[in-house]
Amino acid sequence: MISNNLYLSLFRCRTLGRTALLLSGLFALANTLTAEEPLNGYHSALAKSADTTKWVAVDLWQPQAFEAVRLVPAQAYGWNPTRPGFLFPVRFKIEAAANADFSDARVLVDRTAADEPNPGAIAPVYRFPSLTARFVRLTVTKLSQRGVADFAFALSKLQVLRGETNVAAGAAVTALDTIELDAWAKVNLTGGAVGPAQPKVALDKCRAELRQSWHSARQEPYEPRVAARLAMSGFMQNSSSRVLGPGGYYRPNFASMMLPKATCDHGQWDCGDCTARALLAWADLREITGDQQTGREVETGHEQFLLSMLHPETGLVFLPDSTDISKGQSDYHLWDQSRTLRALVRWYNTKPADRAKLKPLIERMIAGLDRFAKNRGTDPLWGEYAGFVSDAFHNDQPVNAPGFVYMRAATAGWADRVGE
């Protein structure tokens, strides 16, 4: 049994010669997640005829070389666990393509002429000459019988193999139809993320993805790109709330009560810190996966929300719930400033098109911090730092017990870039 704590897993990934701290969004779901509760897999919608054609496809995110496909039979845990090979396709074909619409589809495996024996608990591997493609589709032309007059097909996993490596781990899944209920979800087919072209995942589906990711993390070798894709289309998109604002703001929520329902508990009092953490995570995830589209609306909403909290005069990020600029009332926390400054600099470095907008904001923020700082120095271990008499300010006055708070310079290399 897993500990009764909900916690966020942090993974370290070696990327471009440096370590990126990846906010992965893999949570332990304390009272619902045990080794005795595996997920079933993918289940098509029911049909009234066995001869109804259905399909499911995976997007490998980029062209991949492979030479086999493994179909892992489903087992209906919690419903009919004694029936391995549950609803295995009776007749089917497997195709590969470079285009998402399969206009250039190539048939790799054809089992449409005769019924395929049910493999039971054995996962059959279908081999063919090696090729390179991005999309793989399973088209089922004869369904298995589920009830008296109900037909469907189901699989636990669809794996695309290069040697013994499953290049479909974390692949996006699309399907003609699907049953999304309890332990059935199409994302289970690859243990990965919903692709950028699909609708935003609902909270209950996000929960299923997180549960599946935890099973995968315990049972399969850890793959940073898979974790990153899960984070992008699961936690990162679904832990945010739409809030009022002209920029289509999204407010990130990092609360221990996020699952199964997202809350604002933590983000209510350090919006700058939480929103900046989200933007730093987006940058890391996009660098790791190379995916520049998944969650773009939410990421843009995070950016606009962060910018809306920058004071037009001091340049510092304020507490929106207790600040009224029109009345000259502004509250600041130092931890918001350090994280926000790091996020703005990272944003500047990764999105050249936004540099003209970001440069004056960063410079104004540095000037605002310089105004509040009481001393400065250089530490041999941490580098440049600034000292502040408090970690919270109302306008320009400290509001808690005096005591120096030190903040490292968050603008490493900034002086070399401002002239660009």
Peptide bond into 124 cis (omega under 30): no
What are the structure tokens assigned to 420, written together? 């660009």
CA distance 110 to 108: 7
Phi, psi of 208 (to 5 degrees): -65, -40
Q: Where are the domains of the chain?
A: 42-184
Q: Which residue has the tokens 């493609």?
A: 133
Phi, psi of 94 (to 5 degrees): -120, 130
CA distance 151 to 159: 24
What are the structure tokens assigned to 222, written together? 């850890």
User: Is 42-184 a CATH 1.10.357.10 domain?
Assistant: no
Are the C-beta atoms of 118 and 4 separated by less than 8 Å? no
Distance of CA 82 to the CA centre of its chain: 34
pLDDT in tens, the chain (420 residues): 222 222 222 222 222 222 222 223 333 222 222 223 346 789 999 999 999 999 999 998 889 999 999 999 988 765 655 678 899 999 999 999 999 899 999 999 999 999 999 998 899 999 999 999 999 999 999 999 987 788 999 999 999 999 988 999 878 888 999 887 767 888 888 874 333 333 334 445 555 555 555 555 554 555 778 778 878 877 787 777 777 666 678 888 665 444 444 444 444 457 888 899 999 999 999 998 888 988 888 899 999 999 999 999 999 998 887 788 888 888 888 888 888 999 999 999 999 999 999 999 999 998 888 888 877 778 777 677 777 777 788 888 888 655 555 555 444 444 334 433
* β-pair partners for 316: none
pTM of the predicted structure, to 2 decimals: 0.48
CA distance 324 to 36: 53
CA distance 310 to 313: 9
What pairing do the DSSP bridges indicate for beta strands 240-242 and 250-252?
antiparallel
What are the structure tokens assigned to 181, written together? 């209920």
Q: Which residue has the tokens 């940058």?
A: 283
Are the C-beta atoms of 357 and 345 separated by less than 8 Å? no
